[in-house]
């Protein structure tokens, strides 16, 4: 029997990488805000869970996966990318240049055997809602609220029926009203939100309406 080949670099689990700060953890989600200052390199670290990466500021970093050459990773603010680290067991390092790296990571903790099939659950289709990713573990949407009377596709509010628990991430400072049907959530108030804030949502009817700013965006992740 061949001995298992182990990496020859020193590394830590992502939970112990000091710039990947955990905000909260539930049975199904771990939410992380990863902030790397300018001209800084992270520790070598490993990801093992399916993860949704939401870019909170223009991103221009050098990323290197173990055993591969360094490469540039450039993304605009509001971009998302999903990586299934249950498959790739990503071991990597990231280094910034002039710009800091600011990314919120929604890490999904369910084992595949516990994921609830949602092939018969309707995709949200309404003004201001765009599907970005649809995979067995999650659906990811961009929500855009805009006060623009000249655009018939713009809307200042949406109402969605959430089939499962969800996480809402904030891409712009704003004031909004957030309401849920009584019994589903505690939210029923005007909220002052700032960039990279997050809100945990329970299943049920979810309403959100813009009360400040001309335009603001969110990333909504439904977890199955």
CB atoms within 10 A of CB 125: 8
d(C-alpha 200, C-alpha 169), whole Å: 9
Is the pLDDT score of 158 beyond 50? yes
Residues 23/15, Cβ–Cβ less than 8 Å: no
Q: Place domain 12-108 in its CATH homologous superfamily.
A: Jelly Rolls (2.60.120.10)
Residues 25-65: pLDDT tens digits? Answer: 999 999 999 999 999 999 999 999 999 999 999 999 999 99
Q: Place domain 113-223 in its CATH homologous superfamily.
A: Jelly Rolls (2.60.120.10)
Q: How confident is the model at residue 187 (pLDDT cuts 50, 70, 90)?
A: low
| pTM, two decimal places | 0.91
Query: 12-108 with 113-223: one CATH topology?
Result: yes
Residues 90-108: pLDDT tens digits? Answer: 999 999 999 999 999 999 9
Phi then psi for 128, rounded to 5 degrees?
Answer: 85, 0
So where are the chain's domains?
12-108, 113-223
Is the pLDDT score of 2 beyond 80? no
Q: Containing H/E element for 159?
A: strand 157-162
The Cα-based distances of 193 to 130, 136, 169 in angstroms read: 21, 30, 10
Is the pLDDT score of 3 beyond 60? no
Q: How confident is the model at residue 186 (pLDDT cuts 50, 70, 90)?
A: low
d(C-alpha 62, C-alpha 40), whole Å: 11
**Location of structure tokens 């939401």:** 54
Sign of CA dihedral 43, 44, 47, 48: negative
The pLDDT of residue 6 is 61
Token pair recorded at residue 33: 């805000």
For the residues 176-191, what does the mean pLDDT come to? 67
Beta bridge partners of 144: 217
**Comparing C-alpha atoms, which of 192, 197, 196, 198 is closest to residue 212?**
192
For the residues 1-30, what does the mean pLDDT come to? 85
- The DSSP secondary structure of 78-136, one letter per residue, reads T-EEEEEHHHH--EEEEEESSS-EEEEEEEE---GGGPPP-TTSPPP-STTEEEEEEET
**Comparing C-alpha atoms, which of 11, 31, 13 is closest to residue 22?**
31
The pLDDT of residue 1 is 42
């Amino acid at each position: 029997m061949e001995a298992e080949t182990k990496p020859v670099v020193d590394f830590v689990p992502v939970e112990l990488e000091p710039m990947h700060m955990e905000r909260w953890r539930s049975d199904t989600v771990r939410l992380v805000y990863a902030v790397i200052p300018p001209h800084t390199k992270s520790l070598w670290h490993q990801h093992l869970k399916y993860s949704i990466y939401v870019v909170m500021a223009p991103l221009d970093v050098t990323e290197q996966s173990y055993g591969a050459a360094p490469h540039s990773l450039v993304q605009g603010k509001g971009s998302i990318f999903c990586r299934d680290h249950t498959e790739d067991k990503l071991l990597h390092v990231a280094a910034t240049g002039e710009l800091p790296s600011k990314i919120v990571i929604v890490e999904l903790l369910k084992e595949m055997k516990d994921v609830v099939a949602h092939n018969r659950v309707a995709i949200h289709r309404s003004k201001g809602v765009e599907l970005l990713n649809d995979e067995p573990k999650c659906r990811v949407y961009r929500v855009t609220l805009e006060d623009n009377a000249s655009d018939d596709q713009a809307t200042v509010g949406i109402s969605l029926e959430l089939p499962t628990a969800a996480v809402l991430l904030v891409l712009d400072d704003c004031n909004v009203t957030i309401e849920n049907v009584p019994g589903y959530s505690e939210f029923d108030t005007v909220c002052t939100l700032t960039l990279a804030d997050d809100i945990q949502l329970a299943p049920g009817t979810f309403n959100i309406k813009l009360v400040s700013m001309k335009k603001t965006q969110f990333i909504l992740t439904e977890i199955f």
